[in-house]
């Protein structure tokens, strides 16, 4: 299964909520910050958004969101993924009017997003129905894969912001598409720059599949760990397309991640090369530390 975020991934806008705000000339940054600080829950945050619009007819909202353009290559990407046998899902904390439109246009199987509640007269009530909390998208993913009878490692997750990081946890492959911040870049297995969604296809169409491994070392000091990171920095490692090596330091801990579509042989040889490089760096550091 391939799981997409909506805003900034399948559609070329930053946020369906903000798109409506801009159309009405309003802003909800204050309550957005309150939600990030957990001073208000997501339901209250949605309510504060919706009530800024002064209860318009739902047709006005539909018109605003129907003008949101699909991301470049979205049609072709979903078509090719379905040919490969993938099921497709949208998990978005945005507005369901847009998510449902994209689901219908692209022939996507599943869509989870948040509804605007409407009265019998077609006027917004000022309330919303929460389905996907901004910071808890993984809860929806877990429920969906349980229904489908698959494991999280059989999912590819694709997002563009830090709010998609919970989706990345435990997925088979996580892709930061045209990422908005360094947090999502760091969390993802793979980073795709630019706004052409078709760039993800070579990573998902390879017959050898996706191989991924992570390992880590804990050193006696943060300084030593920092030196090891420098020894395996990207500038020192020229990798071909289809092979990603990521290393990061957390205090005295060095974590390494390798992702490849070039087969298990490439994965094993890359591990061997990295371990050799780390061993040499450790040896040099030990000599330096022991020197008078």
CA 266 to chain centre: 26
Using the predicted structure, report yes or no on whether residue 291 has a pLDDT greater than 70.
no
Using the predicted structure, report yes or no on whether residue 36 has a pLDDT greater than 90.
yes
Backbone angles phi, psi at 169, to 5 degrees: -60, 125
Identify the band that residue 67 occupies on the pLDDT scale cut at 50, 70 and 90. Answer: very high
Percent of the chain past pLDDT 90, that is, above it, reads 80
Taking Cα atoms as reference points, which of 210, 214, 206, 139 lies closest to residue 173?
A: 210
pTM of the model: 0.90
The arithmetic mean of pLDDT across residues 86-114, rounded, is 97
Residue 183 burial (CB count, 10 A): 15
The arithmetic mean of pLDDT across residues 210-226, rounded, is 91
Q: Which of the pair, 11 or 277, is modelled with greater confidence?
A: 11
Max distance between CA atoms of the chain, in angstroms, equals 85
Residues 221-250: pLDDT tens digits? 998 999 898 888 755 556 788 999 988 899
In this prediction, residue 235 carries a pLDDT of 52
Average pLDDT, the chain: 93
Set 5, 138, 160, 189: catalytic member: 5
Beta bridge partners of 196: 72
Residues 126-165: pLDDT tens digits? 999 999 999 999 999 999 999 999 998 899 999 999 999 9
Q: Note the CATH architecture for domain 2-204.
A: 3-Layer(aba) Sandwich (3.40)
Delimiting residues of CATH 3.40.50.1000 domain(s) in the chain: 2-204
In this prediction, residue 230 carries a pLDDT of 85
Catalytic site includes residue 120? no
Q: Which helix (H) or strand (E) holds 158?
A: strand 156-159
In this prediction, residue 20 carries a pLDDT of 97
Q: Note the CATH architecture for domain 211-290.
A: 2-Layer Sandwich (3.30)
**Sequence-separated (6 or more) residues with CB below 8 Å from residue 286:** none
Catalytic site includes residue 7? yes
Delimiting residues of CATH 3.30.310.50 domain(s) in the chain: 211-290
In this prediction, residue 208 carries a pLDDT of 78
Could you tell me if 134 and 148 are in contact, meaning their C-beta atoms sit under 8 angstroms apart? no
């Amino acid at each position: 299964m391939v799981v997409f975020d909506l805003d900034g991934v399948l559609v070329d806008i930053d946020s369906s909520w903000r798109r409506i705000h801009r159309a009405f000339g309003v802003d909800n940054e204050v309550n957005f910050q309150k939600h990030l600080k957990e001073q208000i829950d997501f339901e209250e945050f949605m309510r504060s958004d919706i009530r800024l619009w002064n209860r318009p007819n739902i047709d006005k909202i539909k018109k605003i969101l129907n003008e949101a353009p699909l991301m470049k290559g979205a049609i072709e990407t979903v078509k090719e993924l379905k040919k490969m046998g993938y099921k497709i899902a949208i998990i978005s904390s945005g507005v369901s009017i847009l998510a449902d439109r994209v689901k219908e246009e692209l022939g996507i199987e599943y869509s989870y997003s948040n509804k605007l509640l409407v009265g019998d007269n077609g006027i917004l009530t000022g309330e919303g129905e929460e389905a996907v909390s901004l910071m808890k998208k993984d809860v929806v993913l877990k429920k969906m894969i349980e229904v489908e009878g698959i494991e999280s490692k059989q999912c590819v997750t694709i997002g563009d912001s830090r709010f998609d990081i919970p989706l990345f946890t435990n997925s088979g492959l996580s892709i930061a598409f045209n990422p908005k911040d360094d947090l999502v870049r760091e969390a993802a297995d793979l980073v795709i720059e630019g706004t052409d969604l078709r760039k993800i296809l070579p990573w998902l169409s390879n017959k050898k599949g996706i191989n991924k491994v992570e390992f880590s070392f804990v050193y006696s000091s943060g300084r030593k760990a920092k030196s090891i990171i420098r020894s395996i920095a990207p500038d020192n490692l020229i990798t071909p397309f289809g092979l990603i090596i990521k290393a990061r330091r957390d205090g005295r801990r060095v974590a390494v991640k390798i992702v490849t579509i070039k087969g298990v042989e490439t994965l094993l040889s890359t591990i061997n090369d990295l371990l050799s490089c780390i061993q040499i760096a450790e040896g040099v550091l030990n000599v330096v530390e022991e020197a008078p």
